Chains A and B, each alone.
Chain A
Amino acid sequence: MFLQQLANGLTIGMIYALIALGYTLVYGILKFVNFAHGDIYMIGSFIGLFLIERLHMPLIPAFVTAAVATAIIGMIIERVAYRPLRTADRIVPLISALGVSIFLSSLAQKLWGTGTHPFPASFGSVTYNVGGLIFSQIQLLILVLSFALMIGLHLFVTRTRIGTALRATSLSITNAQLMGIDTNRIISLAFAIGSALAAVAGIMVGIYYNAVYPTMGYMAGINAFTAAVLGGIGSIPGAMLGGLLFGVIENFTGAYISTPFQSVITFSVLIVVLLIKPTGILGKKEILKV
């Protein structure tokens, strides 16, 4: 049972990690928590569902199309709701983000109704038995695809010119601008990448739980945000580690202690970690700029 629970925890942890990356990318640059991110994940899931159910798209093209569409939505949200507020007080874009969050979930309720939608894809229900350990097809997809996306993102950020520009912008927007970096485009890019990853996570969760619904972004968003803080918000490896840890801790708590106490214990772990290391596990100390 231990290994099976570990596999379950890693699966959901991968999802948290993918969503957490969106929080961390944006926070790393703008020092701003995009509260609408959970709802972007939900919208991505619905777009995926629409493509697969209504347009009968195969799985892989549906993933790509939904990711691109959600990335565009993420960029539009940044342009319309956040960019005009960039110089305003820090609390202002936060309120705007809450507004976007409510707007998106209400929009989804209007468009797709309040109910839970099953994923039609028969994909994912096939199970493999590896030495007593049960893996479903979708679980393997989540593990492999999430891992590949994270490696890809890591290489992109550390090995490419745009990636370097992204890191430069996260160090200091003003200085990056002085170096000739179009920081607005970099910020758009951060939103696009975060939203695309959220969409992929959304579709995979939709298939895994066989449920897509308008309020799915709420708890997933909170958990992923917590995972990002746990790992060290602003740090990309931190988001990945935080997501996995959060998923595994949550699962083990449910398995060995008590399911109703899952959240209590997971969030207690968060508090303890933050007390010992206020910047999160892999977070860097913020240097106060004078």
Chain B
Amino acid sequence: MNRKLGWIPVLLALLMVLMTACGGKEENSSSGGTIQIGLAAPISGTQAQYGEALRNGAELAARQINEAGDIDGKTVKIVVEDDKGDSNEAVNVANKFANNKDILALVGHFNSSATLAAAPVYNRNRIVHISPASSAPGVTDAGDYTYRVITTDAFQAKFLADWSKELGYQKVALIYEQSDFGLGLLDVYQSAATAHGIEIVAAESYLPGAKEFSTILTKIKEKRPDAVFIGGFYNEAALIASQAKKLDLRTDYIGVDSLYSRALLELGGESVENFKLIGFFYPGGNNEQATKFRDAYVEAYGKEPDTYAAYAYDAASILIEAIRQNGADREKIKAYLDTLKDFPGATGSLTFDENGDVQTVPQKLIVKNGAFALYEG
């Protein structure tokens, strides 16, 4: 065959790559009439589904204020950058945002590792970022311009250890994600539970995105725990429960609020029945703002929002409110956040402490008949 023609498919292949790489990216336009807020999230990669939820939540906040039209006749635009859930990419994204003077503040990042990697860039450049999901303890000291609308893992893990004691568990096995997030949970839960006299019979970790749990579950089954504490995300939690069922491991499950998603029910089916977990965003309960957000989200996207969508919505709403009240200025946004008190959010009543950490009391939840219900103990 003609050697020259041989290159055509290569070019085609390259074109395909470029097309897929560029597909779906929107043009960044910065005109005087728009207020730009960044969103740094894993839009592609193994955590893309969380990125999608964050994006939907943040964009809903922007859309609502644009429809109401009460922000000096300007429109709010969410500028999305993909950090792929990767610390290196997160730093690139952070530099891009920090050096773009049109970006007033941003929502991000998702992973604690990404937030910790990117935070120095934001703090150096004095731009506020509110993480919707990074709950690792280290984020507390990440800097003055680092805020989060999710409570710390330490707070959650302590809460869960107290609850475990109330539930009368004596032997608990821990399964946690091998990351800043999972290790943070492990530390606090382990020490708090041990202090309550609960015996930790196993502590097994997995890599984010893992699908194979039968190895660690077989090990855990040997120890006959009263409950398995899951320090990870809903995808893995659902797989853990369904694979445990296939190994005939019968135990209770208790977990953090990152498990609280409809996907846990869809993926886990019967095997996640009676799962105990905590949640901040519970529509249909006593938080009116949560119900309102849920209804608006369903109308906009035709599906139920998950926790991360609610966090991103709250983070974006706070930033928009800051700009509405204090004006389009990076420093003034920070000033607003520092004086914020009891902001009515979908995830609860939000106030930042001096470290930029939010203080919200979670709700105790349980999976009953394939749906989340308030736990009444």
Contacts and interface: CB of A to CB of B under 8 A. Distances in A.
Nearest to A86: B1
Interface stretch (B11-19, B62-70, B98-106): B11-19
Contacts of B209: 215
A116 interface: yes
A87 B3 contact: yes
Nearest to A215: B46
A86 B3 CA distance: 10
B26 to A, nearest CB: 16
Interface residues of A, number: 47
Question: Is chain B's interface secondary structure helix, strand, loop, or mixed overall?
Answer: helix
B206 interface: yes
B363 interface: no
B273 interface: no
Given A106-B20, A116-B235, A216 B211 contact: yes
B6 A114 contact: no
A102 B52 CA distance: 20
Contacts of B267: 116, 118, 210-211
B6 to A, nearest CB: 5
Interface stretch (A24-32, A46-54, A251-259): A251-259
Given A88-B3, A114-B52, A259 B248 contact: no
B349 interface: no
Given A8-B215, A103-B17, A209 B205 contact: no
A161 B6 CA distance: 32
Given A85-B6, A209-B243, A118 B14 contact: no
Contacts of A85: 6, 9-10
Interface string B290-306: 00000000000000000
A92 B4 CA distance: 13
Interface string A99-141: 1101100110110011110100000110101000010101100
A5 interface: yes
Interface size class of chain B, counting residues whose CB lies under 8 Å from the partner chain: 35 or more
B17 A209 contact: no
A95 B44 CA distance: 22
A259 B204 contact: yes
Contacts of B222: 1
A17 to B, nearest CB: 16
A180 interface: no
A158 B20 CA distance: 42
B207 A81 contact: no
Nearest to B204: A259
Given A88-B6, A103-B20, A106-B23, A129 B248 contact: yes
A207 to B, nearest CB: 10
B269 A118 contact: yes
B246 A84 contact: no
A211 B23 contact: no
Most chain-B Cβ atoms within 10 A of its Cβ — which of A103, A106, A127?
A106
A66 B121 CA distance: 49
Nearest to B53: A115
A12 B215 CA distance: 11
Given A87-B3, A118-B266, A259-B205, A80 B9 contact: yes
A4 interface: yes
Interface string B302-338: 0000000000000000000000000000000000000
B239 A99 contact: no
A65 interface: no
Interface in B8-57: 8-10, 13-14, 16-17, 20-21, 23, 44-46, 48-49, 51-52
A204 B45 CA distance: 23
Nearest to A137: B246
Interface in A167-223: 209-211, 215-216
Nearest to B48: A114
A163 B204 CA distance: 47
Given A116-B263, A139-B246, 6 more contacts: A110-B23, A114-B48, A114-B51, A211-B239, A254-B216, A259-B205
Interface of A: 1, 4-5, 8, 12, 80-81, 84-88, 92, 95-96, 98-100, 102-103, 106-107, 109-110, 113-116, 118, 124-125, 127, 129, 134, 136, 138-139, 209-211, 215-216, 251, 254-255, 259-260
14 contacts: A4-B218, A5-B218, A8-B218, A12-B212, A81-B9, A81-B13, A87-B6, A88-B3, A118-B267, A210-B238, A210-B239, A210-B243, A215-B46, A259-B215
